[in-house]
């Protein structure tokens, strides 16, 4: 065994990559360094960074029902939720406050896994660096809202599967409601038939 052959082999790899970088395109193995931010690689579909809140069609239709499960499951406790109430003090199924402190969030994705309402998902957005952590990195409800179309754009496989599951659940729910309504009507009709006829009313003046 000759000492130093490993070093020489390593240097040959470096030399080969240095030379080929001048003659080959990046996708052919020519350049290994992407010159970010001028150039960037597309993110992988399962790439995750910070969470966002999903809405259907318009931001009023956010899916979050303020159940607080994600806040309880979040390991560093960086989600803060306050439920919305109507003018009579009745609780509504939506958050008035939904804050996430991105300086604390550790990108674990547990909130996404824990949410039973398909309301929170991990985003691809990562260029959020700021020197002002309180004003810029504490995200409020409206900063977190993103549409289902956006979700389809960044994670088409997951978004399509989730939409299909939700559609199926909705159809099953409608079928069960229709069956319950039909059963109720049949019960009422049977009860009306079983009722004894009312005795004839006495004639006027008798």
Per DSSP bridges, beta strands 120-122 and 51-55 are: antiparallel
**Residues from 88 through 117 that contact ligand SF4 (CB under 6 A):** 100, 105-111, 114-115, 117
- The three-class DSSP label of residue 120 is strand
Residues between 13 and 72 with contacts to ligand SF4, criterion CB under 6 A:
51, 64-70
Q: How far apart are CA 11 and CA 4, in angstroms?
A: 11
- The single residue among 52, 55, 120, 159 that binds ligand SF4, judged by CB under 6 A, is 120
76 binds ligand SF4 (CB under 6 A): yes
Binding flag, residue 154, ligand SF4 (CB under 6 A): no
Task: Give the whole-angstrom CA distance, residue 14 versus residue 140.
Answer: 48
Least Å distance between CB 97 and ligand SF4? 11
Report CA-CA distances (Å) from 117 to 74, 180, 193: 16, 24, 44
Applying CB under 6 A, does 144 fall inside the site for ligand SF4? Answer: no
Which residues form the interface with ligand SF4 (CB under 6 A)? 51, 64-70, 74-76, 78-79, 81, 100, 105-111, 114-115, 117, 119-120
């Amino acid at each position: 065994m000759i000492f130093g052959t490993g070093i020489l082999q390593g240097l040959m790899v470096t030399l080969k990559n240095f030379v080929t970088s001048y003659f080959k395109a990046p996708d052919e193995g020519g350049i290994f360094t992407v010159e970010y931010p001028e150039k960037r690689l597309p993110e992988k579909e399962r790439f995750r960074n910070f969470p966002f809140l999903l809405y259907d069609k318009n931001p009023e239709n956010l899916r979050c029902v303020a159940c607080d499960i994600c806040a309880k499951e979040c390991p560093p406790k960086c989600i803060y939720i306050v439920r919305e109430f109507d003018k009579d003090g009745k609780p509504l199924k939506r958050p008035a406050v939904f804050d996430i402190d991105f300086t604390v969030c550790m990108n674990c994705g547990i909130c996404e896994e824990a949410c039973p309402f398909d309301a929170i998902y991990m985003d691809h957005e990562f260029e959020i660096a700021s020197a002002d952590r309180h004003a810029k990195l504490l995200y409020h409800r409206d900063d977190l809202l993103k549409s289902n179309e956006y979700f389809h754009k960044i994670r088409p496989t997951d978004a399509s599967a989730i939409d299909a599951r939700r559609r199926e659940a909705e159809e099953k729910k409608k079928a069960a409601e229709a069956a319950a309504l039909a059963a109720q009507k049949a019960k009422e009709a049977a009860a009306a038939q079983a009722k004894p006829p009312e005795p004839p009313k006495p004639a006027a003046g008798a």
